[in-house]
Structures are given as C-alpha cells and as structure tokens.
C-alpha cells in the first residue's frame, strides 16, 4: 500500500514538473483583435464566451460601445487563475458594435479559471480544462 502511495505521489510530481518545463519553454501569452462595426450574431447576448480548444483558451465578446472607444485588453495570471480586462480610452458620440476576440496560448494542461472584466465589473467567469 505504501509503495502504491509513493508511486502515485511521484507520478503526480513528475507530471507537474513536466507541465512547468513545457510552460517555461513556451511562456503563456495573450493575443487579441478588436473589430469595429462588426455585425452581431443572432445567438449572442452580449456576454463574453469562454472556450478551450486544444491548448488554447479563447474569449469572444460582441458588444456595443461608443464609436471611438479605442478598446484594448490587459491580462493577469496568477497560477491557474486568468483575468482579462477590457478597457476603452476615448468617449465620443455614436454607438458601434464591436467584436473582441482573444486567445491565451502557451499554457500547460490543467484546469484554469478565467474571468473577463469590463467597465461594469465582472462580465463572465468560467472554468476551463486544457488537455
């Protein structure tokens, strides 16, 4: 019984070490695009959608904002918690639809909690598993 416990513990340590090695060789990064005057799909409620595909966490947000918003994203990661903050730097008259798409790549396999923040505070929160 003790041998089985030690074997399981060693296997978990080796797996964690390999994940850390993979991630340190290819550090996590955020890439994003903002498209102004995008047409909205019928299925969206305006809330960010968070999905996982392969080793990538994706976020898609269709929203309405002022036309010269100058939207950008900032992100922070603490262990398995990732937060993305949408920010705009200008205000003006008029209203436009935007499509924001973001990808976090270079993460090791495991479970992550992702939060998306905007001017109104927390917009979405979801757990995702990367394989």
Q: Let me know if residue 32 belongs to a domain.
A: yes
Q: Per-residue pLDDT for 130 more than 50?
A: yes
The mean per-residue pLDDT over the stretch 35-59 comes to 76
Q: Let me know if residue 114 belongs to a domain.
A: yes
Q: What is the pLDDT of residue 20?
A: 45
2 or 122, higher pLDDT = 122
Q: Let me know if residue 14 belongs to a domain.
A: no
26 or 122, higher pLDDT = 122
Q: Let me know if residue 1 belongs to a domain.
A: no
Q: Let me know if residue 74 belongs to a domain.
A: yes
Q: Let me know if residue 15 belongs to a domain.
A: no
Q: Let me know if residue 98 belongs to a domain.
A: yes
Q: What is the pLDDT of residue 96?
A: 77
Q: Are strands 110-118 and 121-130 parallel, antiparallel or unpaired?
A: antiparallel
Strand order in the sheet with 29-36: 29-36, 95-105, 56-66, 49-53
Let me know: does 124 contact 50? Beta carbons within 8 Å.
yes
Domain holding 102, by residue range, is 27-130
Number of domains comprising the chain: 1
């Amino acid at each position: 019984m003790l041998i089985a416990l030690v074997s399981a513990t060693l296997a978990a340590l080796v797996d964690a070490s390999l994940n850390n090695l993979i991630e340190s060789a290819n550090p996590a990064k955020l890439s994003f695009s903002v498209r102004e005057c995008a047409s909205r799909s019928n299925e969206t409620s305006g809330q960010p959608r968070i999905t996982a595909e392969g080793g990538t966490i994706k976020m898609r947000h269709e929203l309405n904002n002022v036309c010269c918003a100058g939207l950008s994203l900032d992100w922070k990661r603490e262990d398995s918690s990732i937060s993305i903050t949408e920010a705009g730097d200008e205000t003006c008259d008029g209203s436009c639809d935007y499509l924001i798409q973001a990808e976090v790549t270079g993460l090791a396999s495991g479970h992550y909690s992702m939060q998306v923040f905007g001017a109104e505070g927390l917009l979405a929160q979801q757990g995702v598993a990367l394989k």
